[in-house]
Amino acid sequence: MTLESELRSKRDRGRKILVPYITGGFPGWIDAIRAAAASGADAIEIGLPFSDPVMDGPVIQEASQRALELGATPVSILDGVRNLDVEIPLVVMCYYNTVFHAGHERFAKQLVAAGVCAAIIPDLPLEESGPWVKAADEAGLETVMLAAPTAPDSRLPLIIERARGFVYAVGLLGVTGERSALAATATAMAARLKPITDKPVLIGVGVSNAEQAVEACRVADGVIQGASVVRRLIEGGADAVGDYVSEVRRALDAAFVPQS
């Protein structure tokens, strides 16, 4: 099973894809992943906390810093991931220095050994991604690439070609965090990608509640939800995460009825 084949088959059955993000190492993170998986998530994005998370807003920064203060390391988190008994694909999100410091081949193998099927590295853009993607491909690990609203049309096919698993459509100009409304750039970004790729297109960054997830999925194949999930983890623990994922799942399934 690859992430891409899994997401494609769900999409092709008419199901909208829901990927919650959980900060690894934050108290209750393992239970939160189990709760999300049991509540209708299609894959989980697990963040490896980094000291300098430039793509993250206050909520995920806080969770990352807390996890680091509690002694979380990439190794301790991957140990936890290895023992996870969930049936859906697991994706790791980490900043590039974590990868570079460990070494490309070694890190890719560590992820695969932990049962992770894909990686998202938000500060590794197309031009710098070559050596990592080669190592990841060889290890059988998929690398999700991000497409941002600032990209000219000519750049998108190059990103799509390099992308494995799915194409991550960045929803707005800005960092992760909840917003009162879905930015117009979110659906616009997905609308630019959908006609030129058959790979699943998921919108992330600034998709903040069930209603916005539905709105995003009118164009995209699915959504990634970060800050809204992590805030619930911080405030209410794993149960709150499960409740929230259920709520978004129900809203998606009501708006887009999957084929049985």
Partner 1 sequence: MSLMSDPTTEGRFGEFGGRFVPETLVPACQELEIAFKDAWQDPVFRGELDAVLRDYAGRPSILTECHNLGAKLGIRLILKREDLNHTGSHKINNVLGQALLAKRMGKKRLVAETGAGQHGVATATAAALFGLECKVYMGAVDVERQALNVFRMHLLGAEVEAVHSGSRTLKDAVNEAMRDWVATVETTHYCLGSVMGPHPYPWMVRQFHRVIGDEAREQFQALVGDAPDVVVACVGGGSNAIGIFSGFVDLKSRLVGVEPAGGAAVKRGVPGVVHGMKSYLMQDEYGQVQEAHSISAGLDYPGIGPEHSYLASIGRVEYPNVTDDEVIAAFQELARTEGIIPALECAHALAWIIRESGSMQGQTVLMNLSGRGDKDVGQMMEILK
Tell me which residues in 188-247 interact with partner 1 (CB under 8 A). Answer: none
Catalytic residue status for 215: no
Radius of gyration for the chain, computed over Cα atoms and rounded to the nearest angstrom: 17
| Structure token digits, residue 13 | 């059955």
CB of 227 to partner 1, least distance (A): 13
- Angle at the Cα of 157 (from 52 to 217), degrees rounded to 5? 70
CB of 144 to partner 1, least distance (A): 11
Task: Rule CB under 8 A: say whether 75 interacts with partner 1.
Answer: yes
One of 38, 68, 86, 255 touching partner 1 (CB under 8 A):
68
CB within 8 Å of 31: residues ≥ 6 apart: 237, 238
Task: Rule CB under 8 A: say whether 54 interacts with partner 1.
Answer: yes
Catalytic residue status for 128: no
Of 56, 178, 215, 221, which one is the catalytic site residue? 56
Q: b/e map of 8-23 (b: 16 or more CB within 10 Å)?
A: bebbeeebbbbbbbbb
- How many chain residues touch partner 1 (CB under 8 A)? 41
One of 100, 104, 105, 246 touching partner 1 (CB under 8 A):
100
> Residue type for 188, please?
A
CB neighbours of residue 89 within 10 Å: 24
CB of 35 to partner 1, least distance (A): 27
User: How many CA atoms, within 13 angstroms, populate the side-chain half-sphere of residue 199?
Assistant: 27
**Residue span binding partner 1 (CB under 8 A) among the ranges 8-16, 95-103, 112-120, 136-144:** 95-103
CB of 65 to partner 1, least distance (A): 7
Task: Rule CB under 8 A: say whether 25 interacts with partner 1.
Answer: no
Task: Rule CB under 8 A: say whether 52 interacts with partner 1.
Answer: yes
Asked if 190 and 219 touch (Cβ cutoff 8 Å), the reply is yes
Query: Checking DSSP bridges between strand 222-225 and strand 17-23, what pairing results, if any?
Result: parallel
Residue located via tokens 């960045």: 170
The 3-class SS string of 118-143 reads EEECCCCCHHHCHHHHHHHHHHCCEE
Tell me which residues in 133-192 interact with partner 1 (CB under 8 A). Answer: 145-152, 155, 159, 170, 172-175
Of 45, 142, 215, 221, which one is the catalytic site residue? 45
Active site residues: 45, 56
- Residues of this chain that bind partner 1 (CB under 8 A): 50-55, 57, 61, 65, 68, 73-75, 96-98, 100-102, 122-128, 145-152, 155, 159, 170, 172-175
